[in-house]
Amino acid sequence: MAFTLWPNVILLVCVGIIASMIGFIIYGAIVGFDNTVTDEEAEECQK
């Protein structure tokens, strides 16, 4: 018997990813994006 995904599993995964992205954007807007990323991570991104 072949392994099959239950219906809409890919849809649920995509919805979860999108919901987490929207949640992070809202969190960043409230707290401020400067506080969401540490200075060390910011320096690594600029290299």
Phi/psi for 37 (5° steps) reads -120, 130
Whole-prediction pTM: 0.53
CB proximity list for 7: less than 8 A, separation 6 or greater: none
Query: Domain spans of the chain?
Result: 13-45
Mean pLDDT by 10 residues, the chain (47 residues): 76 95 88 66 60
Q: What pLDDT, on a 0 to 100 scale, did the predictor assign at position 1?
A: 58
16: tokens are: 């979860």
